[in-house]
Amino acid sequence: MRMYDLIIKKKQGAPLSAEEIRFMIDGYTKGEIPDYQMSAMMMAICFRGMNEEETFELTHAMAESGDMLDLSAIRGIKVDKHSTGGVGDKTSLALTPIVASCGVKIAKMSGRGLGHTGGTIDKLESITGFHTDISTDTFIRNVNEIGIAIMGQTKDLAPADKKLYALRDVTGTVDQMSLIASSIMSKKLAAGADAIVLDVKTGSGAFMKKKEDSFALAREMVAIGKSAGRKMTAVISNMDEPLGRKVGNAMEVEEAIDTLMGKGPEDFTELVETLGAYMLKAGGITPDADEAVKMIREAVSSGKALDKFAEFVKAQGGNEKEVYDPSLLPKSRIVRELKSEEAGYIGKIECEEVGISAMILGGGRKVSTDTIDPSVGIELLKKCGDRVEKGEPYAVIHANDEGKLEECVKRLAASYTFTDRKPEKLPTITGVIE
């Protein structure tokens, strides 16, 4: 079998067999197939596509290219959650302790962010002492004892995906449906959960800008997971404006804590409750969605969810005092308000531009070696549909560098569009696929 022949076969639109896909992934992972040949294959797939069987085989080949995490020592159904990412997406920080406090086992692998703000791990590391470099034994023990643990993805988990994604990132072959689905699901299958709830974003700040593309991606990932014997649900949620009101690592931790105290923004709270309800159903806690939401709200109002977050933070070396007093979290040196030059309504916010504005401040990474400043970020006082008067502040920038602040001010101000007529509010949840 030769890679050259497989490239020609895919270029001509023919499907690759399971054996051919295994040969390709195994050879590339071992370094036997060079980047230039795999680049040609990725481009051929972008033009010719992959059928459902090919996508399934590619996912499994990448998942099995390294370690497959064995979670059988964890009692009960293990439920994982994955988001396709977005601006202000701190969902895991509030969601996982809530569902864990309701009895669902959360054994989650997360990553660092490359782009707007940090990933889940970067945000959690805003808490003094918190770390995710724990052993698999500690990870399993923590899930059994307190119901939740989050660790960094090991280098041996789906190594083919890491190598392939880096190649796709520099060859213009990221945005192909089967490649996206197999990349996400290979890591989820390797991570060993019994059930997976997906939060698939749609809109200007999401990877999938069009609603129909987001639904297609969700259906493809659900089909892959079900074929692998996993319980699957995908929630399609809005990312035409930032989620919640805070964008930035420590600021997002603070907003997640507010939500655990029952004081979170309306859109973020709705998303957390929706995803949480499906996680409780997948975990066998209750088959009824209304009952699940009721349990979630009780966990928040009683303080159980916040206590579970503190317990989880302490178990992974963090200072639990910061959970109960978020004012102890890192704070920026400079605070600047953006004030409206006219009266009217917020008609549109270019979501991705808000994310880039936060990255300019130091809240995200342009390249993987960049260091994140956990204290910087943006607070959106006004969002789409909100009324604003002339001279009234609509956003607050938290910065530590005057030069970066000025660049951020220009970019953030340009991301807002004001209108005379109140626009229609976009729904937080666009759809669900089970």
CATH of residue 357: 3.90.1170.30
Residue 402 CB-density burial (10 A; 0-12 exposed, 13-18 middle, 19+ buried): exposed
Instruction: Quote the number of domains for the chain.
Output: 3
Q: Do 174 and 140 fall into the same domain?
A: yes
As a whole number of angstroms, the distance between CA 67 and CA 248 comes to 33
Angle at 192 between CA 121 and CA 228, to 5 degrees: 125
Is residue 257, in this structure, part of any structural domain at all?
yes
pLDDT at residue 59, rounded to an integer: 96
Q: Which of 326, 355, 381 is the last residue of a domain?
A: 326
Q: For residues 312 and 339, state if they share a domain.
A: no
96 and 130 belong to one structural domain: yes
Whether residue 216 is found in the same domain as residue 253: yes
Q: What is the pLDDT of residue 257?
A: 98
Active site residues: 82, 161, 168, 183, 187
For CA atoms 431, 197, 125, 154, the dihedral sign is negative
> How many Å apart are CA 307 and CA 260, to the nearest integer?
9
CB hemisphere CA count around 272 (13 angstroms)? 34
Predicted confidence (pLDDT) per residue in 371-420, tens digit: 899 999 999 999 999 999 999 999 999 999 999 999 999 999 999 999 99
* CATH number of domain containing 301: 3.40.1030.10
Instruction: Check residue 232 and give its pLDDT.
Output: 96
CB proximity list for 340: less than 8 A, separation 6 or greater: 388, 389, 390, 391, 392, 393, 394, 418
* Residue 6 backbone phi and psi in degrees, to 5: -70, -35
Q: Does 230 share its domain with 144?
A: yes
Within-domain flag for 20: yes
Asked if 226 and 110 touch (Cβ cutoff 8 Å), the reply is no
| Low-confidence residues in the chain, pLDDT < 50 | none
| Residue 19 structural domain | 3-49
Residue 107 shares a structural domain with residue 178: yes
